[in-house]
C-alpha cells in the first residue's frame, strides 16, 4: 500500500514485557514472532518495536553498545530476521527504534574516544575542558537529574549526556559520526524493516559554542519538580543543523521505497517543533507529548492539540500512552472513575476518540486491553529515572509491566517465573484470553474501532473540523472526498444531550453507547456516536 503509514494504526511493542518465549521472565523476539497473529487480528497496520539491540541495560535498551547486534536477552539476529519475515507474511509492517542521539558508555566508539584526545574517534562525542574552577563547561542539566556533564579521568575532560552518565552524546557536528549513523540505518533497511522510530529526534546536535541555557521564569522556583524544566533549552537540543541531517536520513530511507520515519519530539513547543521536523523533504511524521503528559482530559485539550497542527503538508501522529508515561486510563481517569466502576467504559471511550483523530495513530501495548497503570513497589523498581525521583515520580515501570495473556495463571501467563517487573493483580482479569471471550471487552471494542477506521477513508486520510460544544462534549467532523462523518463523544461521567447541527444523519455502528433522539445525540457517561452525514 502506498504510504501505508498515513492514517494507519501502529502498535508499539515493548519487547521486555510483551511475550516471554523461553520462560526466563523477560520478553524476547521469538515471543514477539509467536504473537504477531494477535496483532494481525487486532487489525493494526504495523508494529513499532522498542530497542532490542546489544546493551548493558542501564536504561533498558536505550543505551546501545552495538547498533547492529541483538542483545542475547532478546535472541539473535536470526530471530530478528524470522520476525521480519513472519510480520510480512501476515501483512504487517515493522518499524524499529533507532537511538542516534547517544550510545552506551560501553560502545566501542566511546571506549576509543575516551582513551585519549588524539585518537581516531576523539571527536565522536561531545567533550569539553573544565572551567578554571574545575566545573563543567556550562549549566546544561540532564533530563534524569544533575549536570549534563561527567568528568572522565582518562581524557581529563567532561563529556555531555542528556540522560544518564552512562549515555554519552554523540557529536553530530563530526561528519564521520553522521556517516556512521547512516551506515547503521542502511544495515537495518537492508534487513527489510519498514521504517524507523527516531528516539529524541531533535536532540542530535548541541550548540558548537556550548553556551549556557537561559533560565525559564518559574515564579519563584517551585513550579517544576525537576531541575531540567527550569531552563529554556535553546542550546542543548533543536539546533538548526539537526534538520539538515533529517533531510539526509529521509533521502536514504526514500531510496529503499515505501519506508517511513516517525520522530519523537521533546520540546517546549510540542506541535510547532513536530511540524518543523515533518515538512516536505524531512521526516514522514512525528509525535510529541502534548497528549501524553498533559491533563486533565477535556474536550478542549484534544481540540487544542489537533488545531495547533496548522500545516497542510506535514502529517501528525497521536498517542495517548507509551513506554515513558503513565497509562492514559490512570493519568486521565484516576481513582474516582475506578471506584465508580467506570474504568472499562472510560478506557473504551478513550480508544474510540483516538481512532477517530486525524493523523497516524500509535497504540501502546496493553491499551487495547484498557490496562491501568500498574503499581510497582519501590523495592521492585527498575527504572533509573523512577528510582532517582521517587517518591515525587514513580517513573516508567508502571507502564512497562508484562502484558497479561492468560487470566488466573501465574504472572498472568506471561512467564512461569517471576518476571523482570511484577504483574499487577488488577491486570489479571483484563488478560487477553478473558477479553477475547467477552464481546463487550475493551479488546473487542478496540478491534471494532480499528476496523471501522480502516473502512472509512475520512478517518484515515480526511480533514478534521471541530464544532463548538460545551464541556465535556467533544465534537468534530471528518471529511474525505464525498464522505462526511460527525464524531461526538461524552468525556464525562454523567449522561448528556448534544444538539446536532442541521442535516441528515445516519447512525453508524461504531460500538460506543449513544443514540439519536430527535435532533439531539443522547450520550451516556463515556458514550459516543459516529454519524454519516448526507449534508453538512
Residues tagged active-site: 199, 264
Q: CA 506, CA 147: separation in Å to the nearest integer?
A: 59
Instruction: Return the residue matching grid coordinates 472499562.
Output: 344
Question: Crossing angle for the helix pair 241-254 and 270-277, nearest 10 degrees?
Answer: 50
- Give CA separation, 445 vs 348, 352, 395, in Å: 7, 8, 29
Q: CA 463, CA 358: separation in Å to the nearest integer?
A: 7
3-state secondary structure of 54: strand
Strand-strand pairing, 9-13 and 360-364: parallel
Alpha helices in 12-164 (DSSP H): 29-34, 36-42, 77-89, 108-113
Q: CA 205, CA 218: separation in Å to the nearest integer?
A: 27
Whether the link from the prior residue into 472 is cis, omega within 30° of 0, is: yes
In three state form, how does the secondary structure of 83-95 look?
HHHHHHHCCCEEE
How many contiguous H segments (helices) and E segments (strands) does the chain have?
16, 21
**How crowded is residue 137: how many other Cβ atoms within 10 Å of its Cβ?**
19
In terms of C-beta density within 10 A (0-12 exposed, 13-18 middle, 19 or more buried), how is residue 494 classed?
exposed
Closest alpha carbon to 356 in 536, 473, 530:
530
Closest alpha carbon to 244 in 140, 194, 173:
173
Closest alpha carbon to 465 in 357, 315, 392:
357
Phi-psi label, residue 439: left if phi above 0, alpha if psi -120 to 50, beta otherwise:
alpha
Q: How is residue 12 written as a grid cell? A: 508499539
Q: CA 449, CA 358: separation in Å to the nearest integer?
A: 14
Q: CA 401, CA 374: separation in Å to the nearest integer?
A: 7
Q: What is the dihedral of CA 79, 285, 475, 442, to 10 degrees?
A: 10
In terms of C-beta density within 10 A (0-12 exposed, 13-18 middle, 19 or more buried), how is residue 425 classed?
exposed
- Give CA separation, 149 vs 105, 130, 205, 354, 523, in Å: 13, 10, 15, 40, 54
Q: How is residue 71 written as a grid cell? A: 542483545
Amino acid at each position: 500500500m502506498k504510504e501505508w503509514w498515513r492514517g494507519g494504526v501502529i502498535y508499539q511493542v515493548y519487547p521486555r514485557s510483551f511475550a516471554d518465549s523461553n520462560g526466563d521472565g523477560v520478553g524476547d523476539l521469538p515471543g514477539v514472532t509467536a504473537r504477531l497473529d494477535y496483532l494481525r487480528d487486532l487489525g493494526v497496520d504495523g508494529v513499532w518495536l522498542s530497542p532490542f539491540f546489544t546493551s548493558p541495560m542501564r536504561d533498558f535498551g536505550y543505551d546501545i553498545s552495538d547498533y547492529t547486534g541483538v542483545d542475547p536477552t532478546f535472541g539473535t539476529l536470526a530471530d530478528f530476521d524470522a520476525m521480519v519475515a513472519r510480520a510480512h507474511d501476515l501483512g504487517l509492517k515493522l518499524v524499529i527504534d533507532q537511538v542516534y542521539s547517544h550510545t552506551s558508555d560501553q560502545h566501542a566508539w566511546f571506549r576509543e574516544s575516551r582513551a585519549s584526545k588524539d585518537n581516531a574517534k576523539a571527536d565522536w562525542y561531545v567533550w569539553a575542558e573544565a572551567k578554571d574552577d574545575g566545573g563543567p563547561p556550562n549549566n546544561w542539566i540532564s533530563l534524569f537529574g544533575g549536570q549534563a556533564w561527567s568528568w572522565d579521568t582518562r581524557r581529563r575532560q567532561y563529556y555531555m549526556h542528556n540522560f544518564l552518565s552512562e549515555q554519552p552524546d554523540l557529536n553530530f557536528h563530526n561528519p564521520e559520526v553522521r556517516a556512521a549513523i547512516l551506515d547503521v540505518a542502511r544495515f537495518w533497511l537492508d534487513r527489510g524493516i519498514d521504517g524507523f522510530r527516531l528516539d529524541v529526534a531533535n536532540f542530535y546536535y548541541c550548540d558548537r559554542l556550548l553556551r549556557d541555557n537561559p533560565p525559564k521564569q518559574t515564579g519563584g522556583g517551585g513550579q517544576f519538580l525537576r531541575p531540567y524544566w527550569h531552563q529554556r533549552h535553546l542550546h542543548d537540543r533543536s539546533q538548526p543543523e539537526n534538520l539538515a541531517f533529517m533531510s539526509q536520513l529521509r533521502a536514504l530511507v526514500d531510496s529503499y521505497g515505501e519506508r517511513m520515519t516517525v520522530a519523537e519530539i521533546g520540546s517546549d513547543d510540542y506541535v510547532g517543533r513536530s511540524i518543523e521536523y515533518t515538512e516536505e523533504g524531512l521526516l514522514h511524521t512525528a509525535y510529541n507529548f502534548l497528549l501524553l503528559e498533559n491533563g486533565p482530559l477535556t474536550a478542549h485539550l484534544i481540540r487544542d492539540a489537533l488545531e495547533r497542527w496548522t500545516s497542510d503538508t506535514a502529517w501528525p501522529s497521536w498517542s495517548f500512552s507509551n513506554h515513558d508515561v503513565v497509562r492514559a486510563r490512570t493519568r486521565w481517569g484516576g481513582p474516582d472513575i475506578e471506584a465508580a466502576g467506570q474504568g472499562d467504559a472510560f478506557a473504551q471511550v478513550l480508544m474510540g476518540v483516538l481512532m477517530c483523530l486525524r493523523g497516524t495513530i500509535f497504540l501502546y501495548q496493553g491499551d487495547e486491553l484498557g490496562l491501568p497503570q500498574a503499581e510497582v513497589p519501590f523495592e521492585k523498581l527498575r527504572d533509573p529515572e523512577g528510582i532517582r525521583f521517587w517518591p515525587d515520580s514513580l517513573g516508567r515501570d508502571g507502564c512497562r509491566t508484562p502484558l497479561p495473556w492468560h487470566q488466573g495463571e501465574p504472572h498472568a501467563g506471561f512467564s512461569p517465573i517471576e518476571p523482570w517487573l511484577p504483574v499487577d493483580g488488577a491486570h489479571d482479569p483484563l488478560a487477553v484470553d478473558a477479553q477475547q471471550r467477552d464481546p463487550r471487552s475493551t479488546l473487542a471494542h478496540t478491534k471494532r474501532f480499528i476496523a471501522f477506521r480502516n473502512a472509512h477513508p475520512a478517518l484515515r486520510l480526511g480533514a478534521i473540523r471541530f464544532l463548538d460544544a460545551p464541556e465535556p462534549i467533544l465534537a468534530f467532523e471528518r471529511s474525505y472526498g464525498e464522505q462526511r462523518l460527525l464524531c461526538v463523544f461524552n468525556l464525562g461521567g454523567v449522561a448528556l444531550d448534544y444538539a446536532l447541527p442541521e442535516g441528515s444523519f445516519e447512525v453508524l455502528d461504531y460500538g460506543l453507547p449513544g443514540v439519536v433522539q430527535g435532533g439531539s445525540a443522547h450520550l451516556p457517561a463515556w458514550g459516543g456516536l459516529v454519524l454519516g452525514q448526507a449534508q453538512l
